[in-house]
Amino acid sequence: MAERKAAVPASDRIEVRIGVNLGEVIVEGDDRYGEGVNIATRLEQVAEPGSVYVSEKVAREVERSSGSVRSTSRISPSPSLSIG
């Protein structure tokens, strides 16, 4: 991914920020809301472009599955982690 990104001029790059959380999501028509959405939105807002921030709940699940997670910062009410 880094090689592909390097080959694209900075003015043409699309860098996304992603926040991921495990929690209740309520679906009503086209609307999605609840704790799961609220915390994921907060994480997305503070994530750096090109990064994925996950809540502590997600990090625990990833670690249980033998994945790798590195801590980047803390956000109330849920610590923020980045998949590394």
Domains of the chain, CATH where assigned: 2-83 (3.30.70.1230)
How would you classify residue 13: left for phi > 0, otherwise alpha for psi between -120 and 50, otherwise beta? beta
pLDDT at 27: 96
pLDDT at 75: 47
pLDDT at 63: 82
Q: Which pLDDT tens digit goes with each residue over 52-69?
A: 899 988 888 888 886 666
Residues 41 and 56 sit within 8 Å (Cβ to Cβ): no
> What pTM does this model have?
0.66
Q: Which pLDDT tens digit goes with each residue over 34-46?
A: 999 999 999 999 9
